[in-house]
Structure formats: structure tokens, C-alpha cells
Amino acid sequence: MKNRFWQLNNHPVGTDFAAALSLEEGPLTQPGDGEVLIKNEMLSLDAGTRLWMTPRTDGYQPPIPLGSPIMGLALGRVEASGHPDFKEGDLVRAFGQWADYSLVQPELADLRKMDETVTDPRQHFGVLGMNGWTALWGLTETANAKPGDTVVISAAAGATGILACQIAKMMGCTVYGIAGGPDKCRFLVEELGLDGAIDYKGGNLDADLAAIEGGIDVYFDNVGGPVLEAVLPNMAMYGRIAICGSVAGYDSSVTPRGPATFDQILMKRLTVIGFFSPDFSDQGDRLTAQLRKSLDDGMLDIPFDTTHGLENTLTAYAKLFTGGNIGKVIVDLKA
């Protein structure tokens, strides 16, 4: 049997992923002792993997070596198992490969069995997945958001942002979302019921942030860069910033820089904390249970931007960096 997989050949420049990645084919390796082979059914496309494609060694994840398969979150069925805890046919989620099949070591890949009573299996990537975990943890644990707080969320029409917006509203916060373009802003207000939406492409970001009465108590940051720079002067005294993403700095061809308004951290006595999903993966069962209740109660949901076919993965992936999606970007591999 053969396995198709996306391979990293060069470090991408900008969004020209086709010049850096190629779809390859090789023999399908059977699992050895302690390994599990998964037939992927869906791939989760996440902006954080962009950093893994750079040569940077100062990230939370070592860079992917050139000539290696691209890693990413996958959902599928166990095809064959050399591990006693997983059997053929189990529905599982793991950090595998952008491929038809993922060969993983469970302990290293965070391999987990999924609850098959979930009506829509895509939610294992959505409300019940890493994006849901990140949104819930970032607001409640990292930022310590409280009822009555004014919360601003960047990339608010993305997967983590949409969920963070809904969770903050459920907590009794006043919520503003930052997104690119009138369609996304309209979605945030009309579909999610936010108190306001700010179009960072509209040319009035500074003024729109300054118009938020009382300042920003909590900023949930998914992007960094100029947006963070604009937010800092508009934070309330003793505000909290939870940083879970910095998409603006993931391109290795762009020199990272700190915000020119950095001194506002001192002037406003702000608390700024970065966090990643590996920090709280041990809390996954608890977070999933809490999110599942909100999903089942109809309080929490997410739209899916679905692309079909492994060969079309790069088209879907580019949406994360060009603003071409609302909600969770996935690739469906089922025939």
C-alpha cells in the first residue's frame, strides 16, 4: 500500500506554500511495538504550524526538518495498532501528518480516543478540540476574565476567536471582536451577538479601540504585530492580556519586532501572559466535558470551512493567512 503526504522542502516565504511543499507518495509503514497507524479522515489546519515551517529554534515546537512530512492534528480511525490501549476501528485524534495515513507514538502525539456520541465529528476539531480548549483556558485561567469585564478578541472570526467570543459572552462580559472586512464584522455582531466589531482593515483601528468606553479589561491576542501595538494604549488599568498566537510574526522572512507602545504595559500596570495548548493538555478531559455541555445546550458552536481532498490542502491552508475563512478550516479526506 502507498501513502501520500505533504513534505516540507524549503522554508515558505509569505503564503507561497506551493514553492516550499510538495505532495509525495511512499510505502505505507506498518506500526511497530507501541505505535499506531491511523487512516486520517480529517485534517485540522492551524496557523501555529506556520511557525514550525520556519528555521526558528526559539518557538515552543522544534522546526520541521526539511525533507520531512508536515505535522498537524488529524482525526481518523485506527488502521493497525501495536499499542495495547488502541485497537483497530477506534476513532482517534492525534498530532499526526498531513497525509492519507499517520503513523504515531501515542505518548508523543497526544493520541486520544474520541467520543462517538458526538453528532458532528468535526466538533472534535472545533468546540471540543484544541481551539475550544484554548479559548476556554485563555479566558478563564490565563486572563482571569470576570462578569462585567470588557473583552477584546483579535482574529475574532477565526476558529479560536469565534469560540472565545461566545465563551466571553456566556461569562457575562462585554465583548468586541477584531476581524478583517465588513462581512466578518457583520457575522460577529449579527450571528454571535457581540457588542461590537472592529474592522482592522478599515483604517480606523486606533480610533475604534479608543472609543471603547472604560478601556479594555481583557485582550485575547491571536495575532500580535500592529494590532497588539494598537491595543496596548487602550487597555484599562490593571488589564490582562492573554497571548495565544502571533500570526503576524510567523513568516520567517519578516523580522519580528516588539510593539512601539510596549511602555503601556508599565503605564497601565498590565499583566501579559503567553500560553499554548501543550500547557494544559493534561486538563483536556475537564475542558472537553465543560465545552460539551455548552455544545449540547446550544450555547456554543462554530462554522466549518471545509476543503475536500488531500491534494487541495495548500489552498485551504492559505486561507488562514489571507483572511479567506470564517471559522474552523479543515480538510476532509473521506471519499
Check pLDDT > 90 for residue 59: no
Shared-domain flag, residues 38 and 156 = no
Identify the band that residue 58 occupies on the pLDDT scale cut at 50, 70 and 90.
confident
Range of the domain at 139: 130-278
Mean pLDDT of the chain: 95
**b/e map 295-331, b = 16+ CB within 10 Å:** beeeebbbebbebeebeebbebbbbbbebebbbbbbb
Share of the chain above pLDDT 90, in %: 90
Average pLDDT over every residue of 78-83: 98
- What is the b/e burial string over 80-95, where b = at least 16 CB atoms within 10 angstroms of the residue's CB? bbebeebeeebbbbbb
**Does 266 lie in the same domain as 318?**
no
| 146 and 178 housed in the same domain | yes
CATH number of the domain enclosing 37:
3.90.180.10
pTM: 0.95
Whether 21 and 121 map to the same domain: the answer is yes
pLDDT in tens, 295-334: 999 999 999 999 999 999 999 999 999 999 999 999 999 9
In angstroms, the CA 298 to CA 253 distance is 43
146 and 273 together in one domain: yes
Position 253 scores a pLDDT of 61
Q: Is residue 206 part of a domain?
A: yes
CA separation for the pair 21, 35 (Å, rounded): 26
At 113 the three-state DSSP class reads strand
Q: The domain spanning residue 134 has which CATH number?
A: 3.40.50.720
